Amino acid sequence: MNLMFIGAHPDDAEGRVGGLAARYVERGGKAMLVSVTNGNAGHQEMAPDELAARRKQEARRAGQVIGADYVVLDHADARLTPTVEVREELIGLIRRFEPDLLVGLRPFDYHADHRAAGQLVVDASYLLTVPLIRPDVPALRQMPVICYSYDGFRKPYPFQCDVAVGVDEYVEKKLHMLACHESQFFEWLPYNGGYLDEVPEDHAERLAWLRQRRLGSSYIADKFRDKLVERYGAAAAQRIQQAEVFEICEYGRRPRPEEIDLLFPK
């Protein structure tokens, strides 16, 4: 089984699908995490070219934590638009990887890059099976199941959870994936959010700080506890503290009920 995630930035994947991707690889499947931009705008000190090179290396190390390929495309951060050229670049990438499950962002978000990345996946979906589009790469004979990852935005409509996956056993791997993105989680985001003075200098203390800040809440599991109960039963579901949740996109293939545990293994 192959899982592909397409996001806008080199640190978009970890919190959304890091646990599920780790489980895919652990069970003999493949995972590819894609950032459509090179992340070259998000820093308070570094020059864009230097930052892009650094973020690519950070992403590569994050993928190595779980044995996933981490692909960073060379489109400028904060300038992404859903053009035909970028769409066809993604069509080629998706076809070559042949995902069974393709996860993206909803095209409703505060960040223009997130909206564009989500729209690109939606726009590419049907064309994955059209041979005369990108004829240099064989068209897929079967559409992948396409899903949106979680966000909290409510307009034009809120995220609708179709499948919830408990990922408690992958919390440490997710933490170390996040920590690979040093330029973001220990530098730019704290600076941009006004809490840079809270970031510890010591590596172990940084991990503890990041764990509490990014993985210290059971908010997602609590919010979608009913969906966890559907899959795991009441007793097991109550023990789950970390979950990843997905909304099935109507533009992809609709999974049969018996496929859910293959696509979203427990």
The pTM for the full model equals 0.97
Q: Which amino acid is at 25?
A: V
Query: Does the residue 221 lie in any domain?
Result: no
Query: Does the residue 237 lie in any domain?
Result: no
> Would you state the pLDDT for residue 75?
98
Give the phi and the psi of residue 69 in degrees, each rounded to 5.
-80, 130
Question: What domain range is 77 assigned to?
Answer: 2-166+244-263
Tell me how far CA of residue 105 lies from CA of 66, 88, 155, 175, in angstroms: 21, 18, 15, 21
> Would you state the pLDDT for residue 202?
96
Give residue-wise pLDDT tens across range 208-253.
Answer: 999 999 999 999 999 999 999 999 999 999 999 999 999 999 999 9
- Token readout for 183 is 């330029």
Query: Does the residue 233 lie in any domain?
Result: no
Give residue-wise pLDDT tens across range 120-130.
Answer: 999 999 999 99
CA R_g for the chain? 18
pLDDT above 90 covers what percent of the chain?
Answer: 100
> Would you state the pLDDT for residue 47?
98
Query: Does the residue 214 lie in any domain?
Result: no
CB atoms < 10 A from the CB of 81, how many?
A: 13
Query: Does the residue 181 lie in any domain?
Result: no
Give me the sheet containing 243-248, strands edge to edge: 69-75, 30-37, 2-7, 101-104, 145-149, 243-248, 163-166
CATH of the domain at 144: 3.40.50.10320
- Token readout for 188 is 């730019």
- Token readout for 21 is 């991707």
pLDDT-based confidence at residue 198 (cuts at 50, 70, 90): very high
Number of domains within the chain: 1
CB atoms < 10 A from the CB of 91, how many?
A: 22
